[in-house]
Structure formats: C-alpha cells, structure tokens
Structure 1
Amino acid sequence: MNPHPAYPAPAAAFSLSAPVRLWEDGFAADPHAYYAALRAQGPVGWAELAPGVPAYVVTDRRAALDLLHDSDTWSHDPRPWEATVASDSPVLGMMRWRPNALFADGDAHIRYRRTLLDAFDLVEPHDLRERVHRAVDILVGRFGPAGRADLVTEFARPLMALVFNNLFGLPDSESGRLNDSLGQMMEGGEQAARGEAEYGRYVLELVAAKSAQRGDDLTSRLLDHPAGLTPEEVTWQVFLTLGAGHEPTANLVSNALSRILGNPAYYSTLTSGSRPVADAVAEVLRYETPLSNYGIHFARESLSFHGVWIQAAVPVVVSYGAIGHFAEHQFAGAHHPHDASHLSWSAGNHGCPVKQHTLLIATEAIERLTQWLPDLDPTTERGRLTWRPGPFHRSLTALPVRFTPRTPDQPGERA
C-alpha cells in the first residue's frame, strides 16, 4: 500500500496576475492547490504572506539551491523591508530583524552560529534521549489512563515544550507558557503580536534567571561562551533557537504520527520493528515538511533570477512545502529513506546547525510513545484532519486517537 495519501484536486481558482494569498484559510486546508498556482508562474511565484505583504516564493529545487548557496547576492537582513511594512503586520513576529544567527550575514553570522554549535555539541545523545523519554513518560502518565488523547495538543506540542524548556534551564511548570506563546506567534493573524510579546517575556525571564545563577543548560553555555555574547545577544539567540526547536519539531512529530497511523500496513511495519520510525520522519521532511515556507532572503540589489525580476527589499521565500509536494507526486510510491533530496534543513551556510538533535528528539518521541501505547488507533481519517492557519507552517490542529488504557506503573513492553 502506498503510504502517501492522495491529496484532493485543487479546489481554488487562481489568477496568474494576482498574488497567491498564503494567508487565506484555504491554504491550510489545501496547500497543494496554492503550490500548483505558484508553480504555474514558473520557478519563482508571486504571493502574499499577509494582506498587503507581498513576497516572491521559490518553488523549484534548483532555484532554491542557487539562492541558498549564494550569500554574495542574497542577505538575511530584513531591516530594509521592515521599513516598508506596517508595525502591526502579523508576519513580523517571524520575520523582523533580531541580532541572532538567522538574520545575520558574514562574520556576525559565523560568530552567532558557532555559539549555537558549541552549546549543542555538549548535549550528549544519551542525555537528550533520557530527556525525551522523561517528557514522554510524564505526558503518557497524564492521558494514558483515559484510553483517548489528542496527539497534537496532549503530546507533540507539550512534549517539545517540556524538552526544550528543560534543555534551556527552566522548570516544567514554565513549559505551558512556551507552548502557548509560540503557537500564537506562528499562526499569524490577530494573535501573533500577543504570542510574540508573551514569548519575549518568557525568554527575558529565562536569560535573567540564568544570568543570576548558571546551570547545566544551553542558556548558561551561551552566556559563558568565549565569543563573549552580550546579554541582549544571548536573549535573541535563545529567542531564535527555542522557537526553531519547539514549533517545527512538534509539527514533525505530529505529521509523522498522522502518516504512520493513517496507514495500518505502514503502522504495523513500524511497531513490529521491521521498518524504523526514522523512515516515517524522513518522509515527512521530504513530502510534508513542518516549516513549509521560510528560508527568507532579500536581494542586496534588484536583479533577474530564474527569469523573474526580483526587487530589493521584497522577501524571497523558499517553499520547502511546494518543493516536497512536487517530489511526492514525481516519485510517488518510491521508498528511498536515505535520499537527502529534501531541503527541510535548508542548505548553504544557513543550513540547520542541529539537525541530528532534532532527528533524535522526533524519532525517540515516537518510539517511546508506541512502546507505551502499541495499539494507537486514529478516530479521524487522515483526509478529514484539519490544519492550523498560517503561511509558514504545516501543522495539524488535532490528531485524536484511542488505545487500551495504560497507567504509568503497568507492566508492558516499554524499556
């Protein structure tokens, strides 16, 4: 059986002369129609990320690689663009300039990136695995006895809040703030500014606590790094890394679980051990990537790029989702888990610096969950699941399941 479910035919009509509006509710329900409309414009399409906020969107893999590997032509600094955008634009939470690795070029980017690499290099795989197992055990202990759960709101999202909250040095009691504020910021719309403000308060309080008393955590390592980051720079590094770790990884887990559970034959090969969970995670990264439109660049000066005139100070977004959707239909049914053709980690000198940590978190979370609850049964067909709005992510609103009730002290296969 093909583990890739058929997607509905495009339901929306688009004009080649008008921007494709990625902020519409229809995009979350059927992104593939929107990607088809963008691809019809060529390797680079014209879209809106929010009402009145235009952007070029790269939907061709070759064009994306040309962009991602050319730091001379393209910059990550959005400040010239910011000057043209309303101060209450809902996408500013994800796009405004901050002094961190994502929005820096040249030597500043190298300096910031090195601090992240060095801090995460001290997180041993066995230690990270134990943190994930602990978080899974806490959550299954909460919903296991009920025999029912929503694997998005009760598992994937709070799991990442527990793991990353712990890695950066705050107690479990603070994880709910992290979870809620990031969710609001990612979705855009009216709640984006509230989410950004609350997330900012969370990070400021975290850095203040670690400045007063160090611990064995990522925040303390950034504060003490030989690069000599200022407290403000540490704050913005944490702001970036917590958000980039929590939200996409939660979506990676829930998207992978939806694919696994949506196909009984596929699920049985995973639970029996004949097919590793890493295969399901790789398929999501390839075909249904959790951060579907990002990799935002700006031309240093106006230029022609793959047949399109690109204006400076207008965002150029890499659509990892469109590239993956095209690949899924081009290679439907092919099983190539070791193929590295997807771009979910981005590429070039801004490629994800901690992808191995992310993969470990996602695979261990799913494996531990299925050890606890080996008979997970979805109560909603995959084609009827709903998705959160927003131009940047591919994120389920819910993944309801049922299973044999399980209490934390009940014996079983968990190891």
Structure 2
Amino acid sequence: MTSYPAPAQAFSLSAPVRLWDEGFAADPHSRYEALRAQGPVGWGELAPGEPAYIVTDRRAALDILHDPDTWSHDSREWESTAAPDSPILSMLKWRPNPLFNDGAAHARYRTALIDGFDLVEPHDLRERVHRAVDLLVGRFGPVGSADLVDDFARPLMTLIFNNLFGLPDSESVRLHNSIGRLMEGGDEAAAGELEYGRYVTELVTAKTLKRGDDLTSWLIDHPADLTYEEVVWQVFITMAAGHEPTANLVANALSRILGNPVYYSTLTSGSRPVMDAVVEVLRHETPLANYGILYARESLSFHGVWVRKAVPVIVSYGSLGYFSEQAAAGAPHHPHDASHLSWGAGAHKCPLKQQVLLIATEAIERITQWLPDLEPVMPRDQLAWRPGPFIRSLKSLPVRFTPRTPDTAVATP
C-alpha cells in the first residue's frame, strides 16, 4: 500500500458540494473552487444522497492514476450499497469492459478494442467524417440557421459510430437519444441505459448471425475469444465513450471558436490550425469533466483525507482544467501543450486518442469550409449547459449563416 503525504488538516464530511444540479451546470467553476478550498481532495455529491471524494489537485490525480495497487476501477463493492434507483447507477455499475476492470481482464478488453480500431485506416475514418458532415450540412445548410449541438455535433457522432459498428444511418436517432439520456446521469439515465442496451444487443445479435466489414464483427472474431456478453459490453462502452464526449468536444470547441471572431478568422483563413481550439478545450473545458472514477482497495489516508473503500473517488478533469486555465492567464500560449489529463493517465489512459482528435478536427474543418460565415446567435456566456455531474455539454449552440446548398460551387469544401 502506497503511503501518501498529508497536509495538517483534513476537511469535514458534513457539507458535500453538489455536482448534479442546474447551479453546477450553469457555473461549475464556483463549485470547483469550493472543492479546492477543502484541499487536494474535496467532498462532493454526484446525485442527491450519493457522495464521492473529488480530486481537484494534479499531483493527487497522478498519484491515483499511476497506482493500480492501491486504487481499483472495479465498482462492484460500491454497487452493492447503491440504491436500485440511484440516478448514477447506470454510469458507475460494473460491466465486463476495460473501464471497470483492472489487470489482465482490463488488458484483454483493451487490446481487443485497440486491434479493432487499428483496422480503420486514418484516411478511411476521415472519409467517414466528411460524408457525415456533408449529409448534415445538406439538411440544414439551405435554411441559413442551425443548432450546432442537436443539428450537427451529436447527430454527426451517431452517423460516424453507426457506420463504424455496422448500422445504417436510419438508426442514428435512436442511438442519439438513448446515449444522451444515459450520460446525463439524472432521472432519465435508467431509461436511456435500457434503450441503449437494446440497441447494442440487437446489433451484436445481427452481426453474430451475419458478419460485416465493421468493428462489431471484428470484435466477435478477435483472437481474445470474447463471449457474446463481452462483445456486447465492449460495443456498449466504446460507442458511448466515443459518441457523447466527442460530440461535446466538437460543440465546446465550436462555441469557443465562434465566441472569438479573431480566433475564428485565423481558423477559416488557414493561418491557425483547428487542433489549437480542440486542445484548448481539452486543457480547460474538457467534455468528460468528472468521470475518472476509482475506488480505494482498502480505506486509507490520502493527501490529508481518510478515504473509505467502496466510496467513489472522482478525478475531476473539469476542475484540473479550470485551475490550469486560471494559472495560465497571462502566461505564454502553448497550444500544443499536452499537459492536461483529459485522456486520463496510466494503464487506463484513453486508447483511442488519435481517432478522437481526427474526428473532432476534421468535423470542425469541414463545417467551417462549408459554412465560412458561421455567426453565433447569442454570446457564449449566455449559452445553457446540460445538467449532470459527469459531462460538460452545451444544451444548444444556435448559429446563422448564408444559406448553402451542396451544389453551391463556392461552398464546396
């Protein structure tokens, strides 16, 4: 068991900071400051009556993420104490996939996913993104206005991931709706999980009966010899983890770009790469804000706090990003600095980083080529955010632009 340094005083567990209400969605930064005031590890609440330790300090976060002997991703002990109707159960309960396992089981699941995605060539993934963007712009381009969340970022990911896993475009709305409800972690989470679970099960059943040139079929035939149930749960986690965070990454980056006309002009002129905006979001406004979830294998003292086993410990990437932005104010700009922890760290670091970056940057480049005069309808500080402890996600991003049709020569990317 690793011994950790402790400050002189631990915090009281009497006043958890809420991470689930509309107030948190509207102003997460004040909540992060309240947590930070408690020390490297704060005491928060993921839902009414659902407490968790919240790590807001980078050193403490790295101590956890690089110490698998002390910390586990297996949530089954917590799950045994959770209420059956807990609004966060759908996001935290154990499943046989890489997110909720350690050691050899984690490595087996992770290897199968990496090997599957390695079969998708970058140029092929780029073409899938372009196809999906073109299809969506073809729908709303002639109107001259759109919501870049519900009309673009989220349906874009359903089109891309449906295509990768072997489903037709006609199934996109079903995926879009079920994952959205699941990820918010509120009253609709259980219904969203149930619908999404049916969706994935039907897909794996169809591919078990008849293979295709897609990720689902490759997982079924992988040398890891995954069971039917294991394939279901690999598809379940990969589609969800790929869809919602990447959609939020695209929307959050577009909102930052469009909220700064000078920034936008440098991107559309080609003098500044889109990757700068994407990395800025990952550093300071990461879309998966509070989903680095671990559990102490045994109760222990950690950075001045007595951490009980079977209570979630959340590495708050959102708070780490917020405080890094405050610290960077006035400092030299290093757009390609990868010091953020949005991808996680250690053995559970996101295995599909390059694919996510390719999807996000290509999507933003493609839509700004199609619609070079995108203009936000309202200032960024007036935009509304979806509630929930785990994600940083806009409710909408309304824009207007000169109407375009696919046959408008000047607008063709």
Instruction: Please say if 1:315 is aligned against 2:312.
Output: yes
User: Structure 2 matches for 1:11-22, cutoff 5 A?
Assistant: 17-22=14-19
Aligned-residue offset at 1:414? 3.2
Aligned to 1:56: 53
What is the rounded CA distance, in whole Å, between the counterparts of 1:26 and 1:182 in structure 2? 23
Would the aligned equivalents of 2:94 and 2:100 in 1 still touch at CA under 8 Å?
Answer: yes
Aligned-residue offset at 1:413? 4.8
Aligned-residue offset at 1:340? 1.1
Report the AA paired with residue 99 of structure 2: L
Match for 1:151 among 148, 156, 167? 148
What is the rounded CA distance, in whole Å, between the counterparts of 1:363 and 1:62 in structure 2? 30
Aligned to 1:8: none
Would the aligned equivalents of 1:43 and 1:60 in 2 still touch at CA under 8 Å?
Answer: yes
Report the AA paired with residue 277 of structure 1: V
Counting aligned pairs with the same residue, the percent is 75
Q: Deviations over 1:127-174 (max 9, x none)?
A: 000000000000000000000000000000000000001101000001
The number of aligned residues is: 401
Q: Deviations over 1:249-281 (max 9, x none)?
A: 000000000000000011011111110000000
What is the rounded CA distance, in whole Å, between the counterparts of 1:404 and 1:300 in structure 2? 57
What is the rounded CA distance, in whole Å, between the counterparts of 2:153 and 2:200 in structure 1? 21
Give the gaps of 5 or more residues in structure 2. Answer: 1-11
Aligned to 2:86: 89
What is the rounded CA distance, in whole Å, between the counterparts of 1:382 and 1:151 in structure 2? 13
Instruction: Please say if 1:250 is aligned against 2:247.
Output: yes
SS of the equivalent of 1:114 reads helix
Instruction: Please say if 1:118 is aligned against 2:115.
Output: yes
Report the AA paired with residue 318 of structure 2: G
Would the aligned equivalents of 1:147 and 1:404 in 2 still touch at CA under 8 Å?
Answer: yes
Aligned to 2:292: 295
User: Structure 2 matches for 1:41-52, cutoff 5 A?
Assistant: 41-52=38-49
Instruction: Please say if 1:215 is aligned against 2:212.
Output: yes
Aligned to 2:386: 388
SS of the equivalent of 1:176 reads helix
Aligned to 1:10: none
Give the gaps of 5 or more residues in structure 1. Answer: 1-14
Instruction: Please say if 1:305 is aligned against 2:302.
Output: yes
Cα distance change of structure 1 residues 16 and 107 upon mapping to structure 2, 3 Å threshold:
closer
Aligned to 1:268: 265
SS of the equivalent of 2:114 reads helix
User: Structure 2 matches for 1:15-414, cutoff 5 A?
Assistant: 17-333=14-330, 334-414=332-412
Report the AA paired with residue 369 of structure 1: I
Report the AA paired with residue 211 of structure 1: T
What is the rounded CA distance, in whole Å, between the counterparts of 1:83 and 1:227 in structure 2? 29
CA-based RMSD: 0.9
Aligned-residue offset at 1:16? 7.8
What is the rounded CA distance, in whole Å, between the counterparts of 1:260 and 1:414 in structure 2? 21
SS of the equivalent of 2:387 reads coil
What is the rounded CA distance, in whole Å, between the counterparts of 2:184 and 2:107 in structure 1? 30
Aligned to 1:5: none
Query: If the length of structure 2 is used for normalisation, what is the TM-score?
Result: 0.96
Would the aligned equivalents of 1:16 and 1:41 in 2 still touch at CA under 8 Å?
Answer: no
Aligned-residue offset at 1:17? 3.7
Q: Which runs of 4+ in 1 moved over 3 A?
A: none
Aligned-residue offset at 1:187? 1.2
Report the AA paired with residue 359 of structure 2: I
What is the rounded CA distance, in whole Å, between the counterparts of 2:333 and 2:401 in structure 1? 29
Report the AA paired with residue 66 of structure 1: D
Would the aligned equivalents of 2:404 and 2:411 in 1 still touch at CA under 8 Å?
Answer: no
Report the AA paired with residue 371 of structure 1: Q
What is the rounded CA distance, in whole Å, between the counterparts of 1:411 and 1:91 in structure 2? 49
SS of the equivalent of 1:77 reads coil
Aligned to 1:11: none
What is the rounded CA distance, in whole Å, between the counterparts of 2:290 and 2:187 in structure 1? 20
What is the rounded CA distance, in whole Å, between the counterparts of 1:93 and 1:273 in structure 2? 42
